[in-house]
């Protein structure tokens, strides 16, 4: 009897640990639950081993990864695979057995936060095989040193050493690689190494080439809109987002609707029963403002509008879009009547200048206000919908201060209504597309 009770308790505990609430639309949920519980158990076991002093948590995780994922170098009918050392760094080279005489070359850096994973893992092995076959290219997957045994900049030095060795005349001739058609690539932390290697060896790589990294967080690098790399990267991101959205949006939307309908069934609309036009707009800041004389100074009191209107919104490029809504002179023109959610955000950047005696110019407690107005054909004066304010206070000696103002709300709008945003000091608004934006979308 006691054995049965103990078994039941253990079974219940295991079920509680494995079970994970998932939307009803997820395919094969138990496989996902088991995989998630397996990952969690590895993480918790590594934390316990680290706390008891047996080994570092990263060492245990890498041992598990090596046991589960690392595969031997095995050639196939189309690709010859070998493990070698280039520049003192372990690598795995994938070489097509057939194809053109001179082949492309790809230097690939795996991800893992510079602490986990390996270029010899099954997932990277399959990826590099696929690239080698489809591109008719020689792929070098670099196994750089990992933390905590190696600390920065050891990983960076390994990336440079392997890249320089791959571009040597001896290696290029050995694998029949065209020196004018070599690129660097990587995912996650490997994308960071790829960017660093390309930047350090920019004189080695062709100056006309463009390096685009899709899996790396490079937002800290200043983007110049006229730069060809920035333009190609933006287009590539949009293409990836569009293709992923088209493939998975219907499945995800169905799963989310099913989950929400359990809690708020009245908010879930059946598209087939009540089709509604998809009316939405999201306009963003632009760094090329229209220099209009009437927008440069305060709006006249006769118009009964507070602040200065922002007219230089972007409606088509980058993150901005217009769907059945027009953008005219900085104003959103509504095409369909209904209940809309309207929102706006402006980002104020104040640069602090000093007088000759060191005192700051201007008011240290100046209020920063944002207004959202609606213009209707039946009323001569714009109607104020929303207003928000912030007080600009900053510490002495600072070069600049940053303040954001955000607001949103539901409003009934009719065909022809126009929405626009005004602020107290338009010259201080930072018109970055992710910082200052304005939009509306039809709800019902």
What pLDDT band is residue 98 in, cutting at 50, 70 and 90? confident
The pTM of the full predicted model, rounded to 2 decimals, is 0.48
More confident site: 148 or 361: 148
Domain boundary among 174, 205, 236: 205
CATH number at residue 297: 2.60.120.40
Residue 19 in any domain: the answer is: no
Same domain, 97 and 64: no
Average pLDDT of the residues in 275-285: 78
Q: Which two tokens stand for residue 343?
A: 């929102």
Same domain, 52 and 85: no
Q: What contacts 78, CB < 8 A, 6 or more positions away?
A: 96, 97, 98, 133
Residue carrying the six token digits 């095989």: 129
Quote the pLDDT of residue 356. Answer: 41
Question: Is pLDDT at 214 greater than 70 in this prediction?
Answer: no
Question: Is pLDDT at 288 greater than 80 in this prediction?
Answer: no
Same domain, 395 and 299: yes
Quote the pLDDT of residue 395. Answer: 56
Quote the pLDDT of residue 398. Answer: 54
Same domain, 124 and 197: yes
What pLDDT band is residue 350 in, cutting at 50, 70 and 90? low
The parent domain of residue 347 ranges over 276-442
For the segment 369-396, what is each residue's pLDDT rounded down to a tens digit?
899 999 998 888 899 999 987 766 655 5
DSSP codes, 406-430: EEEEEEEE-TT-EEEEEES-GGGB-
Domain boundary among 172, 205, 238: 205
Quote the pLDDT of residue 316. Answer: 85
More confident site: 222 or 79: 79
Average pLDDT of the residues in 347-365: 56
Torsions phi, psi of 244, nearest 5? -65, -40
Mean pLDDT, the chain, rounded, equals: 78
Judge whether 188 counts as a catalytic residue: yes
Same domain, 306 and 287: yes
Residue 87 in any domain: the answer is: yes
Quote the pLDDT of residue 372. Answer: 94
| Overall number of domains in the chain | 3
Q: Which of 6-20, 111-125, 268-282 has the highest mean pLDDT?
A: 111-125
What pLDDT band is residue 129 in, cutting at 50, 70 and 90? very high
Same domain, 289 and 340: yes
Residue 220 in any domain: the answer is: no
Residue carrying the six token digits 């390309």: 198
Nearest to 342 by CA among 442, 433, 269, 265: 442
Residue 252 in any domain: the answer is: no
For the segment 3-44, what is each residue's pLDDT rounded down to a tens digit?
888 888 888 888 877 888 877 777 788 888 888 888 788 888
Question: Is pLDDT at 132 greater than 80 in this prediction?
Answer: yes
Average pLDDT of the residues in 277-295: 65
Residue 232 in any domain: the answer is: no
Domain boundary among 205, 233, 268: 205
Secondary structure string (H, E, C) spanning 130-149: HHHHHHCEEEEEECCCCCCC
Same domain, 93 and 36: no
Question: Is pLDDT at 229 greater than 70 in this prediction?
Answer: no
Quote the pLDDT of residue 347. Answer: 83
Quote the pLDDT of residue 433. Answer: 81
Question: Is pLDDT at 171 greater than 80 in this prediction?
Answer: yes
Residue 2 in any domain: the answer is: no
Catalytic annotation, pick one of 176, 188, 211, 404:
188
Same domain, 151 and 125: yes
Question: Is pLDDT at 172 greater than 70 in this prediction?
Answer: yes
Q: What contacts 65, CB < 8 A, 6 or more positions away?
A: 116, 117, 118, 121
CATH number at residue 122: 3.40.50.1820
Question: Is pLDDT at 353 greater than 80 in this prediction?
Answer: no
Question: Is pLDDT at 326 greater than 70 in this prediction?
Answer: yes
Nearest to 46 by CA among 55, 38, 33, 37: 55
What pLDDT band is residue 418 in, cutting at 50, 70 and 90? very high
Same domain, 53 and 127: no
Quote the pLDDT of residue 50. Answer: 84
Q: Which of 164-178, 231-245, 297-311 has the highest mean pLDDT?
A: 164-178
Quote the pLDDT of residue 226. Answer: 55
Quote the pLDDT of residue 269. Answer: 46
Quote the pLDDT of residue 36. Answer: 84
Residue 301 in any domain: the answer is: yes
User: How many C-beta atoms lie closer than 10 Å to residue 246's C-beta?
Assistant: 9
Q: What contacts 217, CB < 8 A, 6 or more positions away?
A: none
Question: Is pLDDT at 338 greater than 60 in this prediction?
Answer: yes
What pLDDT band is residue 225 in, cutting at 50, 70 and 90? low
Least confident piece of the model among 251-260, 292-301, 430-439? 292-301
Q: Which of 216-230, 232-246, 284-298, 323-337 has the highest mean pLDDT?
A: 323-337
Nearest to 325 by CA among 140, 316, 398: 316
Same domain, 186 and 288: no
Same domain, 299 and 386: yes
Q: 3-state class of 282 per DSSP?
A: strand
Same domain, 91 and 184: yes
Residue 221 in any domain: the answer is: no
Return the percentage of the chain with pLDDT > 70, whole number. 72
More confident site: 54 or 213: 54
Residue carrying the six token digits 């996902």: 32
């Amino acid at each position: 009897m006691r054995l049965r009770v103990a078994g039941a308790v253990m079974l219940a505990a295991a079920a509680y640990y494995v079970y994970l609430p998932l939307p009803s639309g997820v395919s094969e949920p138990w496989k996902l639950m088991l995989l998630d519980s397996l990952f969690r158990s590895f993480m918790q076991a590594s934390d316990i081993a680290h706390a008891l002093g047996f080994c570092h948590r990263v060492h245990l995780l890498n041992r598990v990864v090596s046991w589960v994922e690392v595969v031997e170098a095995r050639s196939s009918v189309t690709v010859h695979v070998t493990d070698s050392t280039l520049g003192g760094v372990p690598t795995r080279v994938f070489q097509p057995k057939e194809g053109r005489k001179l082949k492309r070359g790809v230097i690939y850096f795996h991800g893992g936060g510079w602490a986990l994973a390996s270029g010899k893992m099954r997932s990277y092995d399959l990826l590099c095989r696929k690239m080698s076959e489809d591109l008719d290219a020689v792929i070098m997957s670099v196994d750089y040193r990992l933390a905590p045994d190696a600390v920065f900049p050891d990983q960076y030095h390994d990336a440079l050493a392997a890249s320089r060795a791959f571009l040597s005349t001896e290696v290029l001739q050995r694998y029949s690689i065209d020196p004018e058609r070599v690129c660097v690539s990587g995912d996650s932390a490997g994308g960071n190494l790829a960017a660093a290697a390309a930047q350090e060896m920019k004189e080695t790589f062709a100056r006309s080439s463009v390096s685009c990294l899709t899996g790396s967080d490079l937002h800290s690098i200043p983007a110049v809109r006229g730069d060809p790399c920035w333009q190609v990267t933006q287009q590539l991101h949009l293409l990836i987002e569009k293709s992923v959205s088209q493939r998975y949006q219907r499945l995800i939307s169905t799963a989310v609707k099913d989950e929400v309908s359990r809690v708020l069934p009245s908010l879930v609309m059946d598209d087939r029963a009540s089709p509604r036009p998809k009316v939405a707009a999201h306009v963003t800041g632009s760094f090329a403002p229209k220099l209009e004389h009437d927008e440069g100074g305060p709006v006249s009191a006769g118009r009964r509008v507070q602040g200065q209107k922002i007219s230089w919104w972007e409606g088509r490029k980058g993150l901005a879009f217009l769907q059945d809504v027009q953008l005219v002179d900085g104003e959103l023109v509504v095409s369909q009547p209904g209940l809309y959610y309207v929102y706006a955000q402006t980002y104020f950047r104040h640069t602090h200048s000093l007088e000759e005696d060191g005192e700051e110019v201007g008011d240290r407690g100046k209020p920063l206000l944002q207004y959202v107005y609606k213009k209707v054909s039946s009323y001569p004066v714009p109607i104020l919908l929303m207003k928000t304010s912030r007080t600009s206070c900053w510490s002495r000696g600072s070069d600049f201060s940053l303040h954001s103002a955000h607001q949103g709300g539901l409003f009934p709008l009719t065909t022809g209504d126009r929405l626009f945003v005004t602020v107290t000091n338009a010259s201080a608004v930072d018109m970055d597309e992710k910082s200052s934006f304005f939009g509306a979308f039809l709800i019902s």
